[in-house]
Amino acid sequence: MAQLLSPPSSSVIDLALVDDFYFSLLFDEPSTDILPVSDAKYAEELQFQEALVSSAEATRNQTTIVTPSFFLISSPSPPSIIINVQKPVEEIGQSSEIFCEICTERKPTDEIFPNASCTHSYCSDCIGRHVASKIGESSAVAVVACPGLDCRGAHELEIESCRSILAKEIVEKWDEALCEALLMECEKFYCPFNDCSAVLVREIGEDEVIMESECPICHRLFCARCNVVWHSGIECEDYQRLNEDERGNEDLMVREMANQKNWKRCPRCKFYVERIDGCLHITCRCNYQFCYGCGSQWTETHATSTADESAVMSKLLSVISPAPKGWLSIADYCSAWDGIKCSSGKVTVINLRDMSLIGTLPSDLGTLSQLTTLSLQGNHFKGSFPSMANLSLLQSIYLDGNSFTSIPSGCFQGLTNLQTLSISTNINLAPWSFPAELVGSSRLVTLYAKSCNMFGTIPDIFGSFSNLQDVRLSYNNLTGVLPLSFAGSGIRNLWLNNQQMGLSGTIEVLANMTSLYQLWLHKNMFTGPIPDLSNSDTLFDLQLGDNLLMGIVPDSLSSIPSLKNITLANNTLQGPMPLFPKSVTNVELDGTNSFCKSTPGPCDTQVMALLEVAGDLGYPTVLAKSWKNNNACSDWSFVVCDSDGNVIIVNFQRLGFLGKISSGFANLTSLKKLYLDDNGLTGSIPSSLTLLPQLQVLDVSNNNLTGDIPSFPPRVKFTTTGNLLLGKTPSSESGGSSGSGSGSSNSTDGSANGTRNGNRVSAGMIAGIVIAVIIFVLFVLFVSYKCFVKKFGRVENHEIGKASAMDSELQSQNSGDHNDFPLFEGGNVAISMQVLRQATNNFSEDNILGRGSFGVVYKGELDNGTKIAAKRMESNAMGTKRLNEFQAEIAVLTKVRHKNLVSLLGYCINGHERLLVYEYMAQGTLNQHLFDWQKNGISPLTWKQRVTIALDVARGVEYLHSLAQQSFIHRDLKPSNILLDDLMRAKVADFETGRVTTKVDVYAFGVVLMEIITGRKAVDDTVPDERSHLVTWFSSVLNNKENILMAIDEALDPDEETMVESIYKVVELARHCTARNPYLRPDMGHVVNILGSLVEQWKPSCQEDDEKMVSRHERNMSLPQALERWQTDKGTFTMFDDISFRGVHQTTHTT
């Protein structure tokens, strides 16, 4: 940088001896500052300097002062420069001040330039100004010559003396670089960047100039040979031939170089600053304080935010190993750490993909508020994954292939910009549910969560994801049904295969997923038919194998144009084997399917007709398992054929079928008898059935049919009773359509063949009959009540009065000492106290079976030999709460009937006493067989017996939860409430109504499974504390299979491999049922599926089903109707031989 001195007021100079730079030697104000100027400005100032010199010379010529000479001698190589100055007339005196022969002023001795070569003197200021002026020249200054006439004294300059004679501003800015230029044979030049123009030097005579050089001040690259901005990739000669506008973009080159060296510009002066320590707090040479990370002005808030992120990154550095490339200093995490990117000093990207790192992530990683991408896949991170909640800028999370052990609840809450979540292959994760909080991530495109131990159901939230394309949840433990919100979604690839517990339900929702490319649902528990997928014209890969799919494969499946791969193997599919075009290259249909033929082709007409019937019933499992091959007369259940191979009888009585009556029956032209009674059929009766030429009997009673009643020929015995909404008038006036479901008496042949007018019933007549029946019932109730009050007096218990509505049903016909028989009141069996006293030997202590919180259970035997169990409670000791519970239990037990629930046979109210009468379970409770078998002298339960009992219990609870008319909760499921019959089959007792979630019962069932496995009680005070709580202890032994085998009941001997595998499955099921989060527990339907597959040899015959299974329609029946049916069907139920039945009889129309 050239230096220009401030203009003096007067000066004398010998112009002949001055080279190309003019300056003043004499100052009226010697303290004038030195002002730096660029070379470009120097030319402009030259004329001004010449004018000043000319003026000074003219002034000086008017004086008589003689001008002495002062010499600055350059180094030998450059030419010498001599400057003449006026020698003062005044002699130098002897004092503490010395007279400067240049400025002609007296100066203190400490301001005199040291000159040992002669006796002349001059001050450092004058010499300094002169030397500073030489900055504008290319010569080096090594020696200062004495200005005295004929004096050849000279003083060699040194570094220290150089600094002392230079102005303070010059020294602070240029320092040694300027001194080198003065003392050594160096060539001076300037930084080519206009905003810098720093003085640079190079030695003269240097053999080779280093072309790519770096300015020590602004840290930018330049070419030292051309003295221009560095021209990368081009030689100097070529560069110099370019025009000015062809020499590239300086800023682009600077940014490239700054990115390589991680430099930052000062926001104020724009100079590049290199950080040499760890602090982000930078103070530029212009005194501007800024953050080296983000470049913004440094504030207290900024300091806190930066410190927080620095702390998080410091933790990350300390917990992972090996340290990735460049991870050395915490101060450099934005600039030097491999995989870390920042914006404005905030971490935006963490990409540590496939680095084989180990460690546990810091819990506050989710505080990096500007994070957009987190890529941690392909490592070995363990421990809990930190919550990412509310990181609204986060777009991608990749966690695949690690060893995380848990995902915190709400981890993905508030991720409004999330597009990709990939967490597959984290097999060490504790059970966790589908993150329903993703409902707020409406921009989600990809969701990968394979093999990550995900439990529970898939929430119905997919309507929130308009951009979602890929969902891969394979190899988990998901249960439940497909969410309805799948319909209409844009999902292209859906992988739900290989669920350990098995997804279930139908797959009908797939019919409305029109964007599918890949659909993998294999190895689950899906049921029902394959839907029409013809709208999914982009589908190329369909995997439905290893499920429980039923029915006929739709023809539309073969017409999907893009289909390439399809697997339907190992289902229970029926009908003709499908034929696919040659464009479908991979087809798998083998396994457990029941196609009518082994090759594609049509099935027998009767087979197709019956399969159409099954389809309208929703393809019941019992039909799918037994209706195989191409001959309906070959071991097809519920079908009877004649000797010619024609179907003549179809008997679907009491099978609990739902759906509608199929018109496919009309294709069975030889059909004579069709029994559809006592199911849950809906819809109308197809009129096409009237065309069956040989039909003799059609029974559709006790269903939920609606619509008009078709007219059948007179030969058809047509029964419709028990269908309350079925048409009340025949659709035709012919005799074949006699009676409606609301009829109340049996029709005879005579009445059926009467005249048309005889078959018509007026509305007035019906109304009269109804009113008469109501009056009669009210009269009977009134008389009964009066008899009761007369014998026992008025009821004094106010608690009973509060429940008068219930009491109207519960009042028994108490006979005192008379031999009264139980009556049906309000649909319940009321039993006299005398009958129960006789049965229990007057409630003898010897007859006690057990004691509970609500009373004592007695064993009893009726006169006919029927054994009962009577639970006796005293209402005066119960209080209102227990009285209400007693009433509630009756209300519940009369509605629910299932082979795995203990049956209520009757009840009794006698004053303050309340009794419930149950069927007797000969083998007692499960509690006795698990914990007290040695004490009771009985054999321990085998593993097969234990699993069968567990299945029975699961079926009973499943019925309570989801199959009964209303949902019931047991709330107290435990071994003492599980009873066993003579065949060691289990039934659940003491269940109640409840408002709590069914997951309470699932947890209790899981505890029962643990008790069955270990033979230990849920809470055992006889063992050490760490083992006293079964669930806690059992969970601790699940780490490996060896621990499990050591934990099972000592009474079991797991010597068979199949038994060991069965134990492992039940153990896993118990763990799932007792999951801490209720949403992670399976429903009882899936529990039944798992246990059912383990009970291999227990397969009840159809006869056993008829005897033991109470179908779904019976939940709409009153208890008397059920008892009447049992008597009729079995002929052995004689517990109450003298009971007067007041039920509603079936109405049979004989035509």
List pLDDT tens digits, range 1008-1033: 999 999 888 888 777 776 677 888 88
> Are 526 and 603 part of one and the same domain?
yes
- Residue 753's CATH number: 3.80.10
Q: What is the mean pLDDT of residues 472-478?
A: 94
Interior/surface letters 781-802, b for 16+ CB within 10 angstroms, e for the rest: eeeeeeebeeeeeebeeebbee
Mean of the pLDDT values across residues 56-64?
Answer: 43
Q: Is the pLDDT of residue 750 over 50?
A: no
pTM for the whole thing?
0.48
If asked whether residues 35 and 150 sit together in one domain, one would say yes
pLDDT of 878 strictly over 50: yes
Confidence of residue 88 (pLDDT cuts 50, 70, 90): very low
Least confidently predicted of 498-512, 601-615, 759-773, 865-879? 759-773
How would DSSP label each residue in 1018-1048?
SB-TTS-HHHHBHHHHHHHTTTSHHHHHHHS
Burial of 535 (0-12, 13-18, 19+ CB in 10 A): middle
Q: pLDDT band for position 144 (50/70/90)?
A: low
660's enclosing H/E stretch is: strand 658-660
Q: Are 804 and 733 part of one and the same domain?
A: no
| pLDDT for the residue numbered 305 | 56
Q: What is the pLDDT of residues 413-424, one digit of tens each?
A: 999 999 999 999
β-pair partners for 717: 697
For residue 687, give the amino acid letter.
S
Q: Residue 697 has what pLDDT?
A: 95
728 is in an annotated binding site: no
Segments of 238-301 assigned E as strands: 264-265, 272-273, 281-283, 289-291
Instruction: Give the torsion sign (CA, 428, 434, 437, 442).
Output: positive
Q: Which of 304, 314, 379 is nearest to 340 (CA)?
A: 314
pLDDT of amino acid 851: 77
- Domain residue limits at 738: 656-761+1119-1151
Q: How far apart are CA 466 and CA 450, in angstroms?
A: 22
Joined together, the tokens standing for residue 1000 give 């309470």
Last residue within a domain, chosen from 901, 919, 937: 919
Residue 373 pLDDT exceeds 80 = yes
Q: Above 50 in pLDDT, residue 480?
A: yes
Strand, coil or helix: 972 = coil
869 or 737, which is more confident: 869
Distance CA 1111, CA 162 (A): 113
DSSP H or E run through 978:
strand 978-980
Tell me the pLDDT of the chain averaged across its residues.
Answer: 73
Per the structure, how many domains does the chain have? 5
Higher-pLDDT residue of 890, 485: 485
Closest CA to 987 of 996, 978, 995: 978
How far is residue 39's CA from residue 191's CA, in Å, rounded to a whole number? 12
Q: What are phi and psi of 681, to 5 degrees?
A: -70, 145
| Residue 256 forms part of a structural domain | no
Task: Establish if 144 belongs to a structural domain.
Answer: yes
pLDDT the model gives residue 57: 47
510-547 pLDDT tens trace: 999 999 999 999 999 999 899 999 999 999 999 999 99
Domain end (from 173, 188, 203): 173
More confident: 591 or 85: 591
- For the ranges 923-927, 1122-1126, 1131-1135, the lowest mean pLDDT is seen at 1131-1135
Three-state SS annotation for 908-967: EEECCEEEEEEECCCCCEHHHHHHCHHHHCCCCCCHHHHHHHHHHHHHHHHHHHHHCCCC
What is the pLDDT, as a whole number, of residue 107? 81
Q: Are residues 1105 and 1130 in the same domain?
A: no
CB 639 within 8 A of CB 609: no
Q: Do 1106 and 1139 fall into the same domain? A: no
Asked, for residue 930, whether it belongs to a domain, the answer is: yes
Is residue 242 assigned to a domain? no
**pLDDT, mean of residues 252-268:** 60
Residues 712 and 684 in one domain: yes
pLDDT category of residue 580 using cuts at 50, 70 and 90: very high
Domain containing residue 1015: CATH number = 1.10.510.10
Residues with catalytic function: 972
446, pLDDT greater than 80: yes
Same domain for 1068 and 931, yes or no, is: yes
726-735 long-range contacts (CB < 8 A, ≥24 apart) are: 726/685, 730/759, 733/759, 735/759, 735/1151
Tokens representing 671 are 């059909």
pLDDT of residue 727: 77
- Where residue 850 sits, what CATH number does that domain have? 3.30.200.20
pLDDT over 70 at 332, yes or no:
yes
**Residue 672 and residue 548 in one domain:** no
Say if CB 438 and CB 414 are below 8 A apart: no
Q: Take residue 131 and report the two structure tokens written for it.
A: 């030397």
- The answer to whether residues 597 and 675 belong to one domain is no
Alpha-helix residue ranges (DSSP H) falling in 531-664: 605-616, 621-626
Confidence of residue 120 (pLDDT cuts 50, 70, 90): confident
For residue 141, is pLDDT > 50?
Answer: yes
Rounded mean pLDDT, 932-961: 89
Q: Is residue 284 domain-resident?
A: no
Let me know whether 120 and 154 are in one domain.
yes
Q: Which of 302-306, 336-340, 654-658, 782-786 shows the lowest per-residue confidence on average (mean pLDDT)?
A: 302-306
More confident residue, 881 or 1015: 1015
Antiparallel, parallel or unpaired: β 272-273 and 212-214: unpaired
Asked if residue 324 belongs to a domain, the reply is no
Of the pLDDT bands very low, low, confident and very high (cuts 50, 70, 90), residue 247 is low
Indicate whether 453 belongs to any domain: yes
Indicate if the pLDDT at residue 432 is higher than 80.
Answer: yes
Q: Let me know if residue 437 belongs to a domain.
A: yes
Quick one: what percent of the chain has pLDDT higher than 90?
28
Instruction: State how far the Cα of 144 lies from the Cα of 115, in Å rounded to an integer.
Output: 9
Q: Kindly state whether residues 950 and 973 are assigned to the same domain.
A: yes
Choose the final residue of a domain: 173, 202, 236: 173
Distances (CA, A) of 56 to 62, 692, 764, 1115: 11, 139, 142, 127
Segment 373-378 shows an average pLDDT of 96
pLDDT digits (tens, 9 = 90+) for 14-42: 433 333 333 333 333 333 333 344 444 44
pLDDT computed for residue 179 by the predictor: 60
Q: Tell me the C-alpha distance between 862 and 511, whole Å.
A: 59
Residue 1127 and residue 875: Cα distance in Å, rounded? 33
Pairwise pLDDT comparison (121 vs 533), residue with the higher score: 533
Lowest mean pLDDT among 17-31, 215-229, 674-688, 992-1006: 17-31
Is the backbone peptide bond immediately before 322 cis, with ω within 30 degrees of 0? yes
| Mean per-residue pLDDT, 766-773 | 69
The model's confidence at residue 467, banded by pLDDT at 50, 70 and 90, is very high
User: Which helix (H) or strand (E) element contains residue 378?
Assistant: none
Tokens of 758: 């005889």
pLDDT for 1099 beyond 70: no
Phi, psi of 500, rounded to the nearest 5 degrees? -60, -45
Q: What residues contact 15, with CB distance under 8 A and at least 6 apart?
A: 22, 53, 57
1073 shares its domain with 1125? no
String of DSSP letters for 229-243: E--TTS-HHHHHTS-
User: What CATH number does the domain containing 591 carry?
Assistant: 3.80.10.10
Mean pLDDT of 820-847: 71
Q: What is the spatial distance between Cα 84 and Cα 145, in angstroms, rounded to a whole number? A: 12
Would you place residue 692 in the very low, low, confident or very high pLDDT band (cuts 50, 70, 90)?
Answer: very high
